[in-house]
Amino acid sequence: MSNLSRAFASPMRYIQGSGEINHLSKYCKNYGQKVLILIDSFLYDKTMKLIEPQFEDDNTMLAIRFNGECCQEEVDRIYNSLDEFSAEVLVAIGGGKTLDTVKLMAAQKNLPVIVVPTSAATDAPTSALSVLYTADGEYIKNIKHQRNADLVLLDTEIISRAPVRLLVAGMGDALATYFEAKANKESNHNNLVGSGYGMCLTAYAIAELSYKVLLRDGLNAKIAVENGVVTTALENVIEANTLMSGLGFENAGLACAHGIHAGFTALPETHKYYHGEKVAFGVLTQLVLENAEREVLDEVMSFMYEVGLPLTLAEVGVAATDKNIKIIAHTTAVDNKLIKAEPCAVTEELVFSAIKIANVLGEKYISAQGKADEQEALCN
């Protein structure tokens, strides 16, 4: 860092609770009268039943189906409707790519934005960041915006009904927050606020808390979703996945774990896996790269195994060949800047080795746990 300035960014408002989507129109009126809402395609019909009765007529709300990819082609498609409708506030309802698309449009049109995640799968909602992909789903770049969302609105009843895999993927994304914050702190690297500033103590504390919440409540939160109920553990993990992780990554920075995710996007077979699932394996790779203490590796692998996060390349659809690992390593170490925040030496060869060893460690851990489960079954 060139100076000692530090900065912290966050949404203007964050509201989380059961049934909160039923108040969407009331919240929208705080920002404008004409509301354009982008909704994930597979959620469109159910969502419209909840929100359409809240708006007076077609002149106050226009809903559009999201096509599924945060790419320039999708932004251009929606722009036409936005201008014709003369929207005053933009709303995104759905997953991370839906939210990122609306954040892109809001930034370019200088309009207020409300984001309504329908799962706790990523920390995208709270950040002033959009991840741009090609129409085919390959990572292009991160785009920073001048401000965060005006309102992040989470309906935990809706999130409790989402597939459990989404919650677990969110835990994978959140798992990286503390370890990437630690890497940035040790390397004295700039965060992601604007052109980059030093890390506030507050950001590191939030990142650390997110890790503690995951270890304490992660399994119970998963069980709650499997049974379709909202519990305190689930509320805590939703907050960790969304608010703590979002504030943590933006204000403390990203590192190897998300760099590995970018590397995975170069392999088409990984596109069907969620962001947080790939990031989770990136956490394991980062710990190997940093030569983390064995106790830390064991704690992380135990948590990942317990909640069902990928510990191996095979679990994110990648055959563990040298060719595939070299592609991931090259994209991570050469084509992406995130790994430069690491406090240790980084070369393409070292990243290749870290990926390979992380995969072997994951395979050994799964094998050992399988044998332990078999032994326990025999004893019972």
- The residues spanned by each domain of the chain are 9-161, 164-379
Whether the predicted pLDDT of 374 surpasses 80:
no
Beta bridge partners, 65, equal 39
- Flag whether pLDDT at 1 surpasses 60: no
Asked if pLDDT for residue 377 goes beyond 70, the answer is no
- Known catalytic residue at 189: no
**What mean pLDDT value characterizes the chain?**
94
Q: What is the pLDDT averaged over residues 139-145?
A: 87
What is the C-alpha separation between 181 and 159, in angstroms, rounded?
27
Domain 9-161 has CATH 3.20.20.70: no
CA atoms of 69 and 115, how far apart (whole Å): 17
Nearest to 143 by CA among 133, 153, 152, 135: 133
Conformation bin of residue 62: beta by default, left when phi > 0, alpha when psi is -120 to 50: beta
Separation between Cα atoms, residue 321 and residue 338, nearest integer Å: 24
| 257 vs 379 pLDDT, higher one | 257
Which one-letter amino acid corresponds to residue 58?
A: D
- Closest by Cα among 106, 119, 231 to 170: 119
Q: Is 57 a catalytic residue?
A: no
pLDDT digits (tens, 9 = 90+) for 95-114: 989 999 999 999 989 999 99
Segment 136-143 mean pLDDT: 85
Res 378: pLDDT: 66
| Best CA proximity match to 174, nearest among 230, 231, 223, 221 | 221
CATH of domain 164-379: 1.20.1090.10
Band (pLDDT 50/70/90 cuts) for residue 335 is confident
Q: How confident is the model at residue 3 (pLDDT cuts 50, 70, 90)?
A: low
Which residues make Cβ contacts (< 8 Å) with residue 333, sequence separation at least 6?
A: 259, 339, 346, 347, 348, 350, 351
Per-residue model confidence (pLDDT) at position 185: 97
- 14: CB partners within 8 A, 6+ apart: 126, 151, 152, 154, 243
The residue from 261, 322, 330, 373 that is catalytic is 261
Q: Does residue 2 register a pLDDT over 60?
A: no
Which two structure tokens, joined as six digits, stand for 37? 């809402």
E-assigned strands of 225-342?
Answer: none
pLDDT tens digit sequence for 211-232: 999 999 999 999 999 999 999 9
DSSP 240: I
Quick one: pLDDT band at residue 31, thresholds 50, 70, 90? Answer: very high
330 counts as catalytic: no
Q: Which of 78-87, 113-122, 145-154, 352-361 has the lowest mean pLDDT?
A: 78-87
**Angstrom distances, CA of residue 258 to CA of 51, 60, 290, 331, 367:** 35, 39, 15, 12, 26
pLDDT at position 122, please? Answer: 87
Q: 70-92 pLDDT, tens per residue?
A: 999 999 899 888 888 999 999 99
Which residues, including other chains, have CB under 8 Å from residue 11's CB and lie 6 or more apart? 125, 126, 148, 149, 150, 151, 152
Residue of 100, 150, 173, 217 marked active site: 173
pLDDT at 58 over 80: no
Say which residue, 361 or 82, is predicted with more confidence: 361
